[in-house]
Amino acid sequence: MHHRYYGTVHWEEQRKSYRLWDQRWTNRDVCGIIENSSYHWCLGCLDDNEGVHLEGHGIDLAIYLDCAATTPIEPQVQQEIMHYLGVEFGNAGSRTHDYGIRARRAVEKARGQVSRVVSARRSEVIFTSGATESNNLAILGLASHGLQVGKTHIVSTQIEHKSVLEPLQTLARRGFTVTLVAPNHGGWVEPRIVREALRDDTLLVSVMQINNETGVRQPIGEIAQLLDDHDAYFHVDAAQGFGKEFRPLCNRRMDLISISGHKIHGPKGIGALITRRRKNRRLPLTPLMHGGGQEFGLRPGTLPVHLIVGLGKAAELALEGWERRTQRYREFRNRLIHALHPLTPVLHGDQNRTVPHIMNLSFPGIDAEEAMEALRDVVAISDGSTCTSASGTCSHVLSAMRLTDAQLDGALRLSWCHMTEEPDWAAFVEIIEQLRKETSDPLTAKDADQPTVAERSVVPFTSLADVKYENIPG
Ligand SMILES: Cc1ncc(COP(=O)(O)O)c(C=O)c1O
């Protein structure tokens, strides 16, 4: 028998209920929806003999401050997903019965929900598995056309995500010339320098909307304007900005936009490439895979209806709740800055251009890895962007911004969302202060034999080291 338990946990108790949410990782199924300021919980237990208690089953996890890596799912999104996974499970390609017709309708509704966020037409949305695939499709998909028309130059930036840099590396191996513009110290590329990098044979300009490590907005609107008299295609990796910062992405000069479901409280494994028509003609993209002709022939394969519906719902909620969410980001940021003030943090990146839900910072004298380890029980924060002694590499983004060795060594990324609970800031401060004491104590200080960051940063990104890029200093 499948037991069901219902309960209401009020906002003040959100912390407790949120822990319960994580029981999805155990063998229990837990789902809930937010209504007004309450969480309504529906707890299901798969084991007949085991009751589900509101307390005693929670996994004691630290407060999640890594929303730039992935976001918690919105309960309403989860509900939609479960419906199309379990009840309306039809194949959107089946035209002979209602299962298929209803699935197709759900997909088209989601296409509309996604297109509205960027003021695109429904037919301009191509569903993919996420921003990585969208970036690959945008960049590699234009290559055949480029070769045909003799345009083999691409302009991008040194601070792009690897899912842009690595396809560019592939094209560089195939004879394309790739110009990577450096950011300034504030972590953004100057539009003027992007403009100067353009050539007559420039096929594509690819610039991200918001940097995932620093949260710094890139001037994509100004770049779009500067591209007015050039016919290069303009691609924007908007994985971090879609559903959060709308206006810039509504500009129709942006031909290609990559988006991702799991960055906006939707499911993982789904995203889209927006492919805007030019003069009512489709962009000359070549698919990366071949098969059933789905998604206007650009992305074949049976559509994952439940994920698409989840992305659609997440996009709709993002559009509806945008102001409320942004307000929450700002309030959290203010409290964070206030709480961490005694630690005299150094904020990396131009704070006039940084989004209110991502912060890259260092605490003078504190090594990032040591800090993350010491803070492990209090907050979950990113280590993906900092220098790691194991791999001997540093963040290519922070290196390109020319941070000092100490800042590179100490860089931490904190990122949050409208669902983020308040961490125990006092414990956070105490831990870092304690670390500082230990570091300045010669008996406990770290062995001075370690390679310096300057030595490590000589090879900032090894997998790309074999490609000769033309780097333009910012
Ligand atoms: C800027 C940027 N681009 C692309 C991606 C890849 O997105 P996905 O996980 O949907 O493939 C990410 C994810 O971290 C990102 O931050």
Break the chain into its structural domains and give their ranges.
3-61, 83-319, 323-463
Report in angstroms the alpha-carbon separations of 342 from 350, 375, 429, 430, 431.
21, 17, 8, 10, 12
Q: How far apart are CA 237 and CA 129, in angstroms?
A: 14
- Residue 439 binned pLDDT confidence (cut-offs 50, 70, 90): confident
pLDDT at 217: 98
Rounded mean pLDDT, 17-41? 38
* Whether 42 contacts 13, CB under 8 Å: no
Give the ligand 1 atom nearest the CA of 130: 10
pLDDT tens for each residue of 104-126: 999 999 999 999 999 999 999 99
Buried b (16+ CB within 10 A) or exposed e, 228-266: eeeebbbbbbbbbbbbbbbebbebebbbbbbbbbbbbbb
> Domain 323-463, what fold?
Aspartate Aminotransferase, domain 1 (3.90.1150)
Give the ligand 1 atom nearest the CA of 262: 10
The architecture of the domain spanning 83-319 is 3-Layer(aba) Sandwich (3.40)
**Ligand 1 pocket, Cβ-based, cut-off 6 angstroms:** 130-132, 161, 163, 208, 212, 237, 239-240, 260, 271
Q: List the residue whose alpha carbon is closest to atom 15 of ligand 1.
A: 239
Q: How far apart are CA 224 and CA 234, in angstroms?
A: 8
**Strand pairing category for 177-181 and 202-206:** unpaired
Contacts of 78 (CB under 8 A, 6+ apart): 31, 310
pLDDT at 382: 87
373 three-class SS: helix
Place of tokens 């983004």: 397
pLDDT at 391: 57
pLDDT tens for each residue of 446-474: 444 443 333 333 222 222 333 334 444 43
Mutate to test the pocket of ligand 1, among 132, 385, 413 (most ligand atoms within 8 A of CB): 132
* Whether 202 contacts 149, CB under 8 Å: no
- Per-position DSSP letters for 57-125, written without gaps between them: ----PPEE-BTTT--PPPHHHHHHHHHHHHTS---TT--SSHHHHHHHHHHHHHHHHHHHHTT--GGGE
Output DSSP code: residue 355. Answer: -
Least confident of 190-199, 347-356, 458-467: 458-467
- Which residue from 447, 430, 453, 440 is spatially nearest to 365, judged by alpha carbons? 440
Q: What are phi and psi of 10, to 5 degrees?
A: -80, 160
pLDDT at 440: 76
136 three-class SS: helix
Output DSSP code: residue 288. Answer: S
State the distance from the centre of ligand 1 to the C-alpha of 446, rounded, in angstroms.
35
* Whether 382 contacts 412, CB under 8 Å: yes
Q: How far apart are CA 164 and CA 187, in angstroms?
A: 17
Any catalytic annotation for residue 31? Answer: no
- Which residue from 249, 255, 254, 250 is spatially nearest to 281, judged by alpha carbons? 255
Tokens at 464, concatenated? 């790309």
State the distance from the centre of ligand 1 to the C-alpha of 397, rounded, in angstroms.
15
Rounded mean pLDDT, 64-84? 97
pTM for the model: 0.84
pLDDT tens for each residue of 213-225: 999 999 999 999 9
Q: Which of 45, 387, 394, 417 is catalytic?
A: 387
Rounded mean pLDDT, 299-325? 97
Place of tokens 């290196």: 399
Partnered with residue 400 across adjacent β-strands are none
Q: How far apart are CA 39 and CA 375, in angstroms?
A: 28
Q: List the residue whose alpha carbon is closest to atom 7 of ligand 1.
A: 131
pLDDT at 359: 97
